[in-house]
Amino acid sequence: MARIAGGALAAAVTLAGGLGFIGGGYGDATWVDEQLDVAAGVEVGVGFITWALADRVAVVGRVLDRGVRWLWLSFGDPSVFVRAAHDRGGAVVICQVTSVAEARRVVDAGADVVVAQGHESGGHGRDGLPMSELVPAVVAAVDPVPVLAAGGIGTAADRERATGLGAAGVVVGTRLYASHEALDSDPAKHRLVSSSMTRRTTVFDLLRGPEWPAGHTGRALVNGAVERWHGREHELRAGLEVQRSRYRQSAQVDDMDVRVVWAGTGVSDIHEILPAGDIVRAIAAPAAPEQRAVPASARTVPGTRPGSSRSVRP
Ligand SMILES: Cc1cc2nc3c(=O)[nH]c(=O)nc-3n(C[C@H](O)[C@H](O)[C@H](O)COP(=O)(O)O)c2cc1C
């Protein structure tokens, strides 16, 4: 989670038994360095938004040179970064995708792990399939490459449903945003607890910049800015400089009615801000029987092989 997942959150996730990632986003090398210092001594990965780094492979090289062994890439052609990662000591490359075709492309480019991101997910992605349909399709397409499920996972029951679909593991974003360690203000985190409405939109990419490549949207909490501009993007474009300047001023004072809070549909199940370690341990624990909406016998999708993951330890 770009700029939200810093070293403290990533380290807390790893120490609780997961694998935490620093959200390197658009590639601010100084910030990533600082966050790696915060996580020093704990194994964490770093993620980047691939299209934003197209001509700056050095940013990725720098984290690999610092000993990072888990590289997360999304939203663009990962080929050049995969080569850099595999050349420098064999870091594991995890590529997030939103379709079966994209999954095949990243595996052809050398991805070691694929994240199948359903449209419920918070933050950027595409308005594609729900996680429940995308995961089995991607598992079947890229077998034996391990596939992780992303989108709406915040409880042990969610995790069990996803692994029942063939996922080798799960990715948790929005639920960990509402943690003590996430790098955002208390009002933003409280919004995650009190809100339930999200929408995929390009409004915030227009208001904040940079604009994203065509086809991408970001799922965020619905606030005044979304209500005002979603569906009226052409009007927003017409007065973009003025609106951007207003947005910057509102964001500076943390005006929740204007600034973005990226969040997935699972936000409606978030009721409190917790330490990240508690969140990870609760998701990793066996689900309570009453939470299991789908019986165990129905959770394996024909044609998928839940136990077939190949090892990805670097
Ligand atoms: C605040 C926030 C920031 C995100 N930033 C990124 C990012 O920089 N790169 C990325 O690949 N995915 C990003 N995502 C998407 C996550 O990788 C993941 O797909 C998503 O959080 C999973 O769905 P969930 O939010 O329902 O748990 C972000 C998600 C959130 C909530």
Q: Is residue 162 part of a domain?
A: yes
Distance CA 298, CA 287 (A): 16
Residue 121 Cβ inside 6 Å of ligand 1? The answer reads yes
Ligand 1 atom with the shortest distance to the CA of 265: 26
Same domain, 160 and 231: no
| 311 assigned to some structural domain | no
Judge whether 297 lies within some domain.
Answer: no
Nearest CA to ligand 1 atom 12: 1
- Residue 309: inside a domain, yes or no? no
Q: Do 281 and 144 have their domain in common?
A: yes
237 alpha carbon – ligand 1 mean position (Å): 26
In terms of phi and psi (left: phi > 0; alpha: psi -120 to 50; beta: otherwise), the region of 152 is: left
Task: Tell me which amino acid residue 249 is.
Answer: Q
The verdict on residue 308 lying in a domain is no
Q: Is the CB of 23 under 6 A from ligand 1?
A: yes
Are residues 27 and 81 both part of a single domain?
Answer: yes
| Burial profile 82-113: b = 16 or more Cβ within 10 angstroms, e = fewer | bebbbebeebbbbbbbbbbebbebbbebebbb
CA of 297 to the centre of ligand 1 (A): 31
What is the whole-number distance in angstroms between the Cα of residue 88 and the centre of ligand 1?
A: 27
Residue span of the structural domain in which 66 resides? 7-180+269-285
Give the gyration radius of the chain's Cα atoms: 19
Instruction: Output the domain CATH number for residue 21.
Output: 3.20.20.70
Q: Which residue type, as a one-letter code, is found at position 242? A: V
In total, how many domains does the chain have? 2
Q: Tell me which residue has its CA closest to atom 29 in ligand 1.
A: 123
- CB atoms under 10 Å from CB of 184, counted, come to 18
High-pLDDT (> 90) share of the chain, %: 88
104 and 164 fall within a common domain: yes
For residue 92, the cross-strand partners are 70
175 shares a domain with 26: yes
Q: Is residue 225 part of a domain?
A: yes
Residue 300 located in a structural domain: no
Shared domain check, 73 and 27:
yes
CA distances (Å), origin 272, targets 191, 307, 314: 11, 34, 36
* pLDDT tens digits, 216-275: 999 999 999 999 999 999 999 999 999 999 999 999 999 999 999 999 999 999 999 999
Q: What is the pLDDT of residues 106-163, one digit of tens each?
A: 999 999 999 999 999 999 999 999 999 999 999 999 999 999 999 999 999 999 999 9
Same domain, 251 and 106: no
| Same domain as 35, residue 173 | yes
- Is 117 found in the same domain as 254? no
Which pLDDT value is given to residue 294?
A: 53
Q: 110 C-alpha to center of ligand 1: Å?
A: 22
- Are 150 and 47 contained in the same domain? yes
- Pocket mutation for ligand 1, best pick of 59, 174, 192, 279 (most atoms within 8 Å of C-beta): 174
Which pTM value belongs to this model?
0.93
Rounded to whole angstroms, what are the CA distances from 116 to 52, 67, 121, 136?
21, 26, 10, 9
Q: What is the three-class DSSP state of 285?
A: coil
Q: Is the CB of 117 under 6 A from ligand 1?
A: yes
Nearest CA to 219 among 198, 194, 193? 198
- Which atom belonging to ligand 1 lies closest to the Cα atom of 73? 11
What tens digit of pLDDT does each residue of 134-150 get?
999 999 999 999 999 99
Q: Is 170 helix (H, G, I), strand (E, B) or coil?
A: strand
Do 47 and 153 belong together in one domain? yes
Write 203-208 long-range contacts (CB < 8 A, 24+).
203/229, 203/230, 203/233, 203/236, 204/260, 206/233, 206/236, 206/237, 206/240, 206/243, 207/236, 207/243, 207/244, 207/247, 207/260, 208/244, 208/247, 208/251, 208/260
Using pLDDT thresholds of 50, 70 and 90, give the confidence band for residue 293: low
- Lowest mean pLDDT segment, chosen from 21-30, 75-84, 282-291, 299-308: 299-308
Are 143 and 120 within one domain? yes
User: Which atom, in ligand 1's list, is nearest to the CA of 175?
Assistant: 27
Confirm whether 208 is domain-assigned: yes
